[in-house]
Amino acid sequence: MSAIVSLRNVVKTYTRGKQTVEVLHNLSLEIAQGDFVALMGPSGSGKTTLLNLIGGLDRPTSGEVSVAGERIDSLSSGQLAKWRARNVGFVFQFYNLMPMLTAERNVELPLLLTNLSGAQRRQNVQAALTVVGLADRAKHKPAELSGGQAQRVAIARALVADPTLLVCDEPTGDLDRATADDILHLLQMLNRDHGKTIVMVTHDPKAAEFASHQLHLDKGQLVEGDVKAAA
């Protein structure tokens, strides 16, 4: 299967005060389309930085990042925003829903950037909420939902624009085991039945077991894993 994510010789450094810290060291990897990859490693290993580069939230200091056939490391801020809207759905540990909007309004947010009519948007929102099993909670605000339900709404928001890639940063980190398993089953279903490529950062080995591949990072380098490292 062809690679949907391709990183070549990626270096990422941050400057904190007078100190420059290299977080990713000459990292190269490929993730195949339709894969479900768990990105693991200790705190400070560069997992979230790598996820941000794959999701187009950040740019590498050097090296190439291609996602869905497009070099995103050279896109401008505006081009990157448009690219994200078309290609990536994001799921965060703390859901990051808009507290003043209902579930359906939260899910609709990415669709406001499209040319879809109000009726089409509502239809897509309903479909996304149905996929995550929350069609009956459409009118509820985040404060009226449980943690698991809120995360499902966040997943529906990530799905609604039909992106090729889902990027999840500790999606079960704030949930109990049973609820976390429900969410992971949902992600597995989206990967298996809807063909979504998923890259998930997690500390939890049990969560990583739901992925089809695991990738381990330590001190900004891939140390082991069954995802093919680029030559």
Binding mask 149-188 for another protein (x = CB under 8 A): --------x---x---------------------------
Dihedral over Cα of 67, 226, 90, 8: its sign: negative
Binding another protein (rule: CB under 8 A), the pick from 62, 71, 100, 177 is 100
Q: Which is nearer to another protein, 78 or 231 (CB)?
A: 78
For residue 225, the tally of other CB atoms under 10 A from its CB is 18
Q: Which is nearer to another protein, 154 or 187 (CB)?
A: 154
Binding another protein (rule: CB under 8 A), the pick from 109, 127, 135, 230 is 109
User: Residue 12 interacts with another protein (CB under 8 A)?
Assistant: no
Rounded distance, CA 31 to CA 214, Å?
Answer: 11
Q: Which is nearer to another protein, 152 or 157 (CB)?
A: 157
Q: CB of residue 22 vs another protein: minimum separation in angstroms?
A: 16
Q: CB of residue 181 vs another protein: minimum separation in angstroms?
A: 25
Rounded distance, CA 31 to CA 197, Å?
Answer: 9
Q: Which stretch binds another protein (CB under 8 A): 64-72, 82-90, 122-130, 182-190?
A: 82-90
User: Residue 104 interacts with another protein (CB under 8 A)?
Assistant: no
Widest pairwise Cα distance in the chain: 53
Distances (CA, A) of 79 to 23, 66, 73: 25, 14, 11
Q: Which two tokens stand for residue 26?
A: 């000459």
Which amino acid is present at 146? S
Rounded distance, CA 160 to CA 108, Å?
Answer: 8
What's the number of CA atoms in the CB half-sphere (13 Å) around residue 213?
20
Binding region for another protein (CB under 8 A): 52, 55, 57-58, 77-78, 81-82, 84-86, 90, 92, 96, 98-101, 105, 109-110, 112-113, 118, 157, 161
